Amino acid sequence: MSSKVNLLNFTRADMEVFFAEMGEKAFRANQVIQWMHQYGVDNFDAMTNLSKSLRAKLEDVAEIRTPEVLIDQASVDGTHKWLLKLDSGNSIETVFIPEKNRGTLCISSQVGCALECSFCSTGQQGFNRNLTVAEIIGQVWVANKALGWDPMANGKRERIISNVVFMGMGEPLLNFDCTVKTIEILVDDFAYGLSKRRVTVSTSGVVPALLRLKEVSDVALALSLHAPNDELRDVLVPINKKYPLDKVLGACKDYISGDTRRKVTIEYVMLEGVNDSVAHARQLVKVLKDVPSKVNLIPFNPFPKTQYKRSSDEAIVRFRDVLIKGGLITLTRRTRGDDIDAACGQLVGIVMDKTKRGLNVDNS
Cα 134 to Cα 11, 65, 127, 175, distances in angstroms: 10, 8, 19, 13
Contacts of 22 (CB under 8 A, 6+ apart): 57, 61
Beta bridge partners of 350: 91
Which residue among the candidates 16, 24, 93, 171 is catalytic per the annotation? Answer: 93
Active-site residue 344, yes or no?
Answer: yes
Catalytic site residue 117?
Answer: no
H-type alpha helices, 188-312: 207-216, 230-236, 245-256, 278-287
H or E element in which residue 33 lies: helix 27-33
CA–CA separation, 337 and 73 (whole Å): 10
The span from the CA of 228 to the CA of 245, in Å, is 8
Angle of the 245-256 helix axis to the 207-216 helix axis, nearest 10: 0
Residue 106 to residue 267: CA distance in whole angstroms = 15
Phi and psi, residue 62, nearest 5°: -135, 165
Residues known to be catalytic: 93, 344
